[in-house]
Structure 1
Amino acid sequence: MRLSFYLLFLLVISVFGCEEAKTDSQEIPSDSFRNEVAATEVRVATAERKSFDYLINATGKLEAQSEVKALIEREGYLEKVLVVEGQFVEKGQIIALIDKREAEFALEKAKINLVKAQSEYDVLRAQFQLALESKDAKVVENTKNRILVTSGLSLAEVELKEAELNLARCEVRAPVSGRVANIKFREGSLVAKNAEFAEILSTDQLQLRVKVLESDIPQISSNQTAEVYPISDPQNALEGRVMAINPKVDENGLVQVTLTLKSSKNLLPGMNARAIIRAPQRNSLVVPKDAVVYRSGRAVIFTIENGKESKWNYVEVGRDNGREIEVLDGIPENSTVITTNNLQLAHQAPVKIVNP
C-alpha cells in the first residue's frame, strides 16, 4: 500500500510539472527569438523596368565566304606545282602545269591540216570561179559553203581551235582570287580529267556559321549585331552581323545562322569561334541575376520588408544575359531585392543592408 501511494504521488507531480513547463514556453514571445539572432548583412538592388539585352550564345567554325575548287581540265602527268598552301593567288593565275607534249603534237597536226585544207580551198575556188561571180546571191552563198566543206577548211579550223583549247587546259588556273588550301597532288602524279587540284579560299571576308536553339530564332533578325570571340584570341571581340538565317530546323531543334565578320586579321577558315548575338528586350522588369535563388526547383527572390526583414517571394523569371534576369511575375516594380547572402536566407529573417 505504501509503495503504491508513493508511485501515484510521483505520477501526479510529473503531470503538473509538464503542464507548467508547457505554459511557461507559450508565454515566451516569438519576437524574442528573432531579436536574439544576429542580422544577416546583405547587399541590395532595385528591380527596374528598362531595356534589357538578351544574349544568345552559340559556337561554330569560321569559313571563307568564297570557297572554290580548282579543277584539272585534262588527264595527264602533273609536271609542275607552282604554289604552296597558304599562298595568295590572283584570279586566272597559273597554279600548276600538266605535261603538254601530247597537246602540242595535236596542235601542230591541226595546223598542218589547216594548211592542207586551205590549199584545197584555193583550188576549188578557182574551179568554181564562174559560180562565185554569179549575180544570184543564193548561188554564190551555196557555192562558198560547198567549197568550205569539200576542202575540209571548216573542219580544220574547228580542230585547230580544239587543239589550242586542249593545250590551254594543260595550265591549271585559279578560278578566283584567294589563298590556296588542300593541294591534292604532287609533281609527277597521274591525274584524271575534272580531278580537284586544290581549293581557293577568299580569306579577305570570313563568315561564322553557328547553331541556335529554335526558341531563340524569333529574337534574331538580319543585320543584327553580334560579338565574335575566336578561340585563338578569346579576349578580344570582333564585330559581326547576322547575314542569313536558315529557314529549316534540324533534327536537334537547332537552326543555322550565318554571321559576317568585319575584320579577318590573323584568322583562318576552320578556326572555332563563339558568337554572342544581342537581342534587345524593351520595357522589361530586371534584377541582378544574383538576386534569384532556387528552392525546391522554384525561383525565389528575397525583398526587404520594413527596412529590416527579408520577405520570401516566389517569382516567374524570363531570359537572362549572364548579369541580369527578367522577372515576369512575383514582385512589384522598384522593389528592393537582396543580392548577397540569400542562399540560406529564411522568410522574415533579420537583415542589415551594408550598401545604399
Structure 2
Amino acid sequence: METFRDEVQATTVRVGQSETKSFDYLINATGKIEAANEVMVIVERPGYLLELLVEEGQPVQAGQTIARLDKTDSQMEWERAQVELRSTTAEYQSRRIAADVETTLLDSLGNAERDEFWKASSGLLSAQIAVREAERNLEKTEIKAPIAGAVADLQVRKGSLVNAGDEVCLVLSTNLLEMKVKILESDIVFVGKGQKAEVYPVSGSGDGISGTVSSINPKVDENGLVQVTLSLQQGGRLLPGMNARAVIRAPQNNSLVVPKEAVVYRSGRPVVFTIENDEAIWNYVEVGKDNGREMEILDGLMASQQVIISNNVQLAHQAPVQVITD
C-alpha cells in the first residue's frame, strides 16, 4: 500500500557544497574619481593676454608656457631698474674711491663691512633688489604649467584683460587618479593599506580599473563612516569628476562558505537545506559575511556537506528531492 509520502513528487534541485576556503569579503562603496594632483593656474601680473597656447584636454609638461601677457609695462620697469642700478653702481664706485676722506666711521669697520656700508649708502643694494623684482615680474608675463598633466576648465580668452589672481585653467595629473570612498566603521577592520580594489563607472559602461588602498582616515565621521582613499592604475575610461563604484577585496582565511543561493530565510532566520537519503534537511544557520557569490557560515553546518541551491524557497523539512546536474 502506497503511503502519502510515496505519492509526493520529488522536487528537482541543484546542489553545491559547503567548504572551508579563503573567502574574499567584498566591500562596496561609491564616490567620485579625482586627479591625485591638480593645480589651478593663477595670473600673477595684470595685463592683456596676447597668446593662449593651450586648449582644454591638451597634455602639458611642468614648466611649459601656456599663455603670454603683454610685457610692455614689465619690460619698462626692468629697464628703469637697470638704469637705477647703473647709477647706484657709479655712486658706489665713487664712494669707494673717496673712502680715505670718510675716516671717522670707516676706520672701525672691516673690509667686508666697509663694502656693505658703501653699497647701502650709495643705494646699490636697493637697486639690485629692484632689478631682481623687475626680472621676476617680467618672468610672470609667461604663464607656465606648474605640473605635468592635462588642461581643464579654461577660464580666459586671447586678448582679454586679466588681473593678478585671475584663474587661467586647471592642470590635472590624469595619469594619477584616486577615489575617496566612505566605508562603514564595522567594515573598516577588514581594510588595510595596500589592499586590492576594482573601480567601475556607476553608469555600468566600460571596463573597471585596478587600484589599491593608499590611505585610511583615522577618524570616524558623525554618520559612522570612515574615508578611504584608493590609488588607481592608469587606464580605462575613468575621468576626474566621474561617479564610480569601488569594490575592495578583504581576504578572509579558513572560512566555511556556501553558495549564496543556498541560504534562504524562514520567519527572518537563515536556513540551508542539505540532502540526506534523497530528502531535504532543514538547517538553521548563523551567517557571516557576504561577498555577492558566497556566504560565510559561522554555525549550523560542517564542511563538505551537499547544500541545495535551487528550488529551495518553498521546500519543507524532509521533502523528497531529486538532484539534477544539467
TM-score (norm 1): 0.83
CA distance in 2, matches of 1:111, 1:118: 10
* Paired letter, 2:268: G
Q: What is the match of residue 159 of structure 2?
A: 188
Q: What is the match of residue 110 of structure 1?
A: 81
The question of 1:344 aligning with 2:317 is answered no
TM-score (norm 2): 0.90
How many aligned residue pairs are there? 325
Q: What is the match of residue 48 of structure 1?
A: 19
Query: In structure 1, which of residues 133, 149, 152 is the aligned counterpart of residue 123 of structure 2?
Result: 152
CA distance in 2, matches of 1:97, 1:338: 73
Q: What is the match of residue 329 of structure 1?
A: 299
Deviation per CA, 1:135-162, whole angstroms, max 9, x where unpaired? 9682655543443233222222221111
Deviation per CA, 1:12-62, whole angstroms, max 9, x where unpaired? xxxxxxxxxxxxxxxxx9x82222111111112222122211111222222
The question of 1:119 aligning with 2:90 is answered yes
More moved, 35-44 vs 262-271? 262-271
Deviation per CA, 1:105-130, whole angstroms, max 9, x where unpaired? 21111112122222323333332256
Higher helix share: 1
Paired residues of 1:131 and 1:139 also in contact (CA < 8 A): no
In structure 2, relative to structure 1, the CA distance for the partners of 1:218 and 1:143 (3 Å cut) is closer
The question of 1:203 aligning with 2:203 is answered no
Q: Please, what is the CA RMSD of the aligned residues?
A: 2.6
The question of 1:77 aligning with 2:53 is answered no
Give runs of aligned pairs for residues 200-349 of structure 1, distance below 5 A.
200-231=171-202, 234=205, 236-305=207-276, 307-349=277-319
Paired residues of 1:226 and 1:241 also in contact (CA < 8 A): yes
Give runs of aligned pairs for residues 13-52 of structure 1, distance below 5 A.
32-52=3-23
Give runs of aligned pairs for residues 55-66 of structure 1, distance below 5 A.
55-66=26-37
Paired residues of 2:206 and 2:237 also in contact (CA < 8 A): no
In structure 2, relative to structure 1, the CA distance for the partners of 1:105 and 1:187 (3 Å cut) is same
In structure 2, relative to structure 1, the CA distance for the partners of 1:212 and 1:109 (3 Å cut) is same
Paired residues of 1:206 and 1:264 also in contact (CA < 8 A): no
Q: Which runs of 5+ in 1 are unaligned?
A: 1-28
CA distance in 2, matches of 1:36, 1:140: 120
3-state SS of paired residue (2:68): strand
In structure 2, relative to structure 1, the CA distance for the partners of 1:191 and 1:291 (3 Å cut) is same
Query: In structure 2, which of residues 139, 150, 153 is the aligned counterpart of residue 179 of structure 1?
Result: 150
Paired residues of 1:58 and 1:275 also in contact (CA < 8 A): yes
- Identical pairs, percent: 52
Paired residues of 2:206 and 2:236 also in contact (CA < 8 A): no
The question of 1:99 aligning with 2:48 is answered no
3-state SS of paired residue (2:187): helix
Task: Tell me the CA shift for residue 203 of structure 1.
Answer: 1.5
Task: Tell me the CA shift for residue 326 of structure 1.
Answer: 1.0
CA distance in 2, matches of 1:304, 1:187: 78
Q: Which runs of 5+ in 2 are unaligned?
A: none
CA distance in 2, matches of 1:235, 1:176: 29
Task: Tell me the CA shift for residue 317 of structure 1.
Answer: 0.9
Task: Tell me the CA shift for residue 103 of structure 1.
Answer: 1.2
CA distance in 1, matches of 2:120, 2:242: 61
CA distance in 2, matches of 1:62, 1:155: 50
More moved, 161-170 vs 67-76? 67-76
* Paired letter, 1:344: Q
CA distance in 2, matches of 1:142, 1:322: 79
* Paired letter, 1:309: E
